[in-house]
Amino acid sequence: MSKRDFISKASNPQINPAVTELCNNVDDNCDGRVDEGCPKTLKQDSIELLENAKDGELCSRWKNIGGGCHDKELDKVINYIKKSLEQSYWDSEVEVNSKKVFDYEMLAVTHCLRGPFKNLDPACEEAAGNLVEADRVIANTTLETAKSLIVQNPKNQKCFDQETKKAELFYDEATNKISRKYQSLAILNYRLSWEHSQKATEYATTNRRTCGGWS
């Protein structure tokens, strides 16, 4: 055990190299990184990757326009990702309250992979992969939370079941899009899954009958 690992474990037994990293602003596994694999961290990793690509080794391999390395276009992609990190859209490290988080990421991925950078693979591909994974975590968290709920009004049960089923279908379809390298469509399907999970949560948590009354 390294000195850092020993100190971490001694100061807090819940923080040590054997535990799984959580999305909680704590270095749970004591590896020197906080929240690796979590949505906000993945987005920040993408921003850093694209910033470095402006004048780094990756950039030198790319096709230049006007003697430049598309820095202006890269800034557009980075700005889309930054907009998706707008604090008002986030309820926690893994929970969001606005579809704009997904929409800005779709713009970033589409611009990076299908726009002026369509041949500039390593950085855009890795950044897109990070964003897709971020949305997978968000969609999965929202879906699992919805599925764990007990419907307060039994008359809303049917609509709750319909919405969770749709959420699962869109979540699975996102996986299919990833396998076919349709990253922007994967994000779209994660957004749709998230939306249906949100609707399921509304049906579950209200005491009023909101299902509509059809059989």
In a domain, 9, yes or no: yes
In a domain, 211, yes or no: no
| Gap between the Cα atoms of 115 and 133, Å rounded | 21
Q: Residues 99-144: pLDDT tens digits?
A: 999 999 999 998 888 755 555 557 888 999 999 999 999 999 999 9
Question: Are residues 43 and 7 both part of a single domain?
Answer: no
In a domain, 186, yes or no: yes
Question: Do residues 139 and 194 touch, judged by C-beta distance below 8 A?
Answer: yes
| Gap between the Cα atoms of 5 and 3, Å rounded | 5
In a domain, 170, yes or no: yes
Position 68 scores a pLDDT of 47
Question: Are residues 102 and 6 both part of a single domain?
Answer: no
In a domain, 168, yes or no: yes
Question: Are residues 23 and 90 both part of a single domain?
Answer: no
Question: Are residues 29 and 67 both part of a single domain?
Answer: no
| Gap between the Cα atoms of 153 and 213, Å rounded | 12
- DSSP-assigned letters across all residues of 66-117: TTB--HHHHHHHHHHHHHHT-GGGBSSSS-BS-THHHHHHHHHHHHHHHSTT
Question: Are residues 145 and 84 both part of a single domain?
Answer: yes
Question: Do residues 124 and 131 touch, judged by C-beta distance below 8 A?
Answer: no
Question: Are residues 56 and 7 both part of a single domain?
Answer: no
Q: Residues 1-17: pLDDT tens digits?
A: 444 443 444 455 555 55
In a domain, 210, yes or no: no
Question: Are residues 5 and 69 both part of a single domain?
Answer: no
| Gap between the Cα atoms of 207 and 150, Å rounded | 11
Question: Are residues 17 and 50 both part of a single domain?
Answer: no
In a domain, 58, yes or no: yes
Question: Are residues 89 and 109 both part of a single domain?
Answer: yes
Say how many domains are in the chain.
2
Measured in degrees and rounded to the nearest 5, phi and psi for residue 93 equal: -70, -20
Question: Are residues 47 and 26 both part of a single domain?
Answer: no
Question: Are residues 151 and 85 both part of a single domain?
Answer: yes
Query: Domain range holding 18?
Result: 1-35
Q: Residues 47-84: pLDDT tens digits?
A: 999 988 875 444 444 444 444 456 777 888 999 999 99
Report which of 154, 192, 156, 158 is spatially closest to residue 173, judged by C-alpha positions.
Answer: 192
Question: Are residues 58 and 141 both part of a single domain?
Answer: yes
Indicate yes or no: pTM above 0.85. no
18 pLDDT more than 90: no
